[in-house]
Amino acid sequence: MGESQMKTNERLVLLNQRFENPAEVISRLAGMAKEEGLVEELFVVKLLEREIEYPTGLPMPVPLAIPHISDGCCEPFVSIATLAEPVLFKNMDRSGENIPAKIVFLFGILDPKNQLSVLRRFARAFANGDDVGRLVAAKSPAALLRELDGILEGMLDISW
């Protein structure tokens, strides 16, 4: 499986969750990936450090955040949290603006050279607020993953 396919499953999805800050969301999603054997402890530490220096909030029609890193990643994957109340992530453009994220996509990549193409694919896919709105409204992890795989045009490997 190349970087074009990212592993995920229902155990990597949280629906309608409440978190106080980005570090809580990131730690929980990264911890779930660690439980699935997709990352090493280094991933969690480096991801939290990276979010401070390179924030990942995106002011899309439905605001979101896409924390990501390759350090300590064993398999390309995505874990997802929809949020009952928005969590303020700093804008990816480094303006310092707070983005009230309603959904967080945390992903791990194997090759840092692929980071930009993965980011572009996610950003393009989520430019449509209706698509992301359907994800935020999903009633089950399975429904969210089906919808997400459709939006990302088969980018997900849900079969494992």
Q: Tell me the pLDDT tens digit for each residue of 71-95.
A: 999 999 999 999 999 999 999 999 9
Q: Tell me the pLDDT tens digit for each residue of 38-71.
A: 999 999 999 999 999 999 999 999 999 999 999 9
Residues 90, 22: Cα–Cα separation, whole Å: 9
CATH superfamily of 10-152: Mannitol-specific EII; Chain A (3.40.930.10)
Residues 14, 140: Cα–Cα separation, whole Å: 9
Check whether 1 has a pLDDT greater than 50: no
Indicate the domain borders of the chain.
10-152
Check whether 4 has a pLDDT greater than 70: no
Mean pLDDT of the chain: 91
Higher pLDDT, 11 or 160: 11
